[in-house]
Chains A and B, each alone.
Chain A
Amino acid sequence: MKDKIIGIILFVLIVFIIFVFVSSNITINKYDKISKNIDKQIENKERKIKIKENEYKKIKEENIAKKKQLDNMNNYINTLSEKVKEYEK
């Protein structure tokens, strides 16, 4: 009877060890896949961010240039208004 109990306990332990081994392997594979997937996504995101940063820089630079032009135009308009006012006096 005792031998049977010992056998059962040993059997349970062996089953437990096998279960742990298999489930840990499954977990490792699963997380490896997730890790690779996330790495790819991170890489894509970084690429996207770089493109968007460049786009942002380009638009910003264009806006700065346009603002300068606008300022020049405003100055020119002021000069014109002054000249017109002089004639209207």
Chain B
Amino acid sequence: MKNKIVFLILSLIFIVTISITAIFVKKIYQEKIIPVNEKIAIYEKLEKKENKIDKKIQNEIRESKNIQKQTKENQNTKQELEKKLNKYQVTYNKKVIYLTFDDGPSEYTMDILNTLDKYNIKATFFVTCSDNLENISKEIIKRGHTIALHTCTHKYSYVYSSDEAYFEDLNNISNLVYKYTGIKSKYVRLPGGSSNTVSRAYNLGIMSRLSSSLHEKGYKYYDWNIDSNDAGGANSEQEYSNVIGALQNSDRDINMVLMHDTKVSTKDSLDGIIKDALNLGYTFSNINEYTKEVHHGINN
């Protein structure tokens, strides 16, 4: 009888121990192991999501490269077509306007470039050694305009002091333009134009010599036949009427308009000038290899 009781008690202790152990293990499994497994599953999901995003990014990068390639190809096609069109316009169209901007770049040049872009019009910029030449010259080229040389300093007393001084100054701006854009421009505008008389005060006969030296050195120089008079202090309304008035009376093939991208009046009047010149039936072009030179009479 005693043995049976001992056996029963032992069995009971054994069963209770095993049950408690089982409950304990189950609790550990539910509270510790299952959450960890769930977290591992979440992590794996996140990893899959990351892989998906990686793939998407790579696809977009591939797409971006394709677009860049296409843009480059289109840029070449665009340039070729523009050149062709320029050639045809110069050859067949009696009403071509060359907008030329001197003395820049300046704080207004970007606005002027944006206005030109608005009408898909190309122009010519006769640049000097301004502070923002690097950025703006790149932008001028990027947008398909012509970059041309005006001189580095634009100081009459220096550039017209001697032939050597002029060409040294011209080389300075030419080298800077080449450094920033990779373009060796051969288009030049003499400060004050080839007809200026200011140079007489510094060197007699220099304009005659420079005009032929420029050609000998392979440059083409361009004066103008329409003056917006922005450098003379015209406000935007006066500048508009100076240009549009001259265009209305013009029977020339080439209308070379002198403007300065350093003048706020030019920035403000440009939109109206372009709009009304288009209405008058003019087409616009930038100076290019087919553009005939426009010269003033030389006075010194």
Contact = CB atoms under 8 A, between A and B. Distances in A.
Contact of B67 (A16, A70, A76): A70
Contacts of B3: 2
Interface stretch (B48-56, B127-135, B270-278): B48-56
B39 A42 contact: yes
Interface residues of B, number: 45
B121 to A, nearest CB: 12
A interface, by DSSP: helix, strand, loop or mixed?
helix
Contacts of A84: 81, 84-85, 88
Interface stretch (B20-28, B153-161, B208-216): B20-28
A73 B71 contact: yes
Interface string A23-34: 010011001101
Interface of B: 3, 6, 10, 13-14, 17, 21, 24-25, 28, 32-33, 35-36, 39-40, 42-43, 46-47, 49-50, 53-54, 56-57, 60-61, 63-64, 67-68, 70-71, 74-75, 77-78, 81-82, 84-85, 88, 92, 120
29 contacts: A6-B6, A16-B21, A20-B21, A24-B28, A27-B32, A28-B32, A31-B36, A38-B40, A42-B42, A42-B43, A45-B43, A45-B47, A49-B49, A52-B50, A53-B53, A55-B57, A56-B60, A62-B64, A66-B68, A67-B67, A70-B70, A73-B74, A77-B74, A77-B77, A77-B81, A80-B81, A80-B85, A83-B85, A88-B88
